[in-house]
Amino acid sequence: MMMWAWWDARNKANVGEGLHEIEGVLRRATLMAIDAKMLKEKTHCKPGKKRVKWTPPEPDILKVNIDGAFLESEKSGAWGYIVRTSDGEAACSEQGMMKIQIESDCSNLVSAMKKSNFDLSPAGVLFQDARLFISLNFVSVEFKYCHRSANECAHELARYGLSRDPDQDCVWSDPLPVFVTNLVTHDQVGYRVNE
């Protein structure tokens, strides 16, 4: 992981994207190593647990799974999302999405977007702005809570975002990187979790 992070930083410097500080390269390598360890630990199913998997939307709806990640020690965060069709294929977010389902494993976020219960909280103005934006730009939007195990793809994309340069957005369309394709497949197959 260290060699890859160093190689990536060197290549960015060679094309004029600026030099990265050593701490940034080390942080990225550490995050990738942690992610690799956690992914390895998640591959084993435990007997006697309920199977939960990602569920597709109706044919005329696109489903957007979202998640965030935060490193308290670094005071930095990232978010990830994936847009999929009713057959489970990843879709480009610019494909004229008019009817969407947004799923999150954060029940407070789903509640805040469905109702005005959180409008007086410190983040209340953000929820109000998001609801206004949605009402002006989409025909139909439904917010749904999903179990964490059915949101793994968005979760891992958010974690991946922690290791990226925060000043560079990363949006993939066709073809998707292999690790994203693997996450999509894993989400659809699902795995066992506690009830």
Total tally of structural domains belonging to the chain: 2
Containing domain of residue 25, as a range? 2-42
| 134-151 per-position pLDDT tens digit | 888 888 999 999 988 888
**Strands 140-145, 191-193: pairing kind:** unpaired
**What's the pLDDT at 195?**
38
CATH number assigned to the domain comprising residue 177: 3.30.420.10
Query: What's the mean pLDDT when you consider all of the chain?
Result: 79
Based on the fold, state whether residues 27 and 55 are members of the same structural domain: no
Based on the fold, state whether residues 104 and 159 are members of the same structural domain: yes
Higher pLDDT, residue 25 or 115? 115
- Asked whether residue 8 carries a pLDDT value surpassing 90, the answer given is no
**What's the pLDDT at 145?**
94
Based on the fold, state whether residues 90 and 174 are members of the same structural domain: yes
Q: How confident is the model at residue 176 (pLDDT cuts 50, 70, 90)?
A: confident
| 101-115 per-position pLDDT tens digit | 999 999 989 999 998
Based on the fold, state whether residues 79 and 170 are members of the same structural domain: yes
Query: To the nearest whole percent, how much of the chain has pLDDT over 90?
Result: 18
pTM over the 0.75 mark? no
| 114-136 per-position pLDDT tens digit | 988 888 888 889 999 999 998 88
Based on the fold, state whether residues 90 and 179 are members of the same structural domain: yes
3-state secondary structure the chain: CHHHHHHHHHHHHHCCCCCCCHHHHHHHHHHHHHHHHHHHHHCCCCCCCEEECCCCCCCCCEEEEEEEEEECCCCEEEEEEEEECCCCCECCCCCCCCEEEEEECCHHHHHHHHCCCCCCCCCHHHHHHHHHHHHHHCCEEEEEECCHHHHHHHHHHHHHHHCCCCCCCCCCCCCCCHHHHHHHHHHHHCEEECC
| Amino acid occupying residue 94 | E
Q: CA dist 18 to 28, 32, 76, 101, 174, Å? A: 16, 22, 21, 39, 28
Region 39-51: mean pLDDT is 54
Q: How confident is the model at residue 45 (pLDDT cuts 50, 70, 90)?
A: very low
Based on the fold, state whether residues 80 and 154 are members of the same structural domain: yes
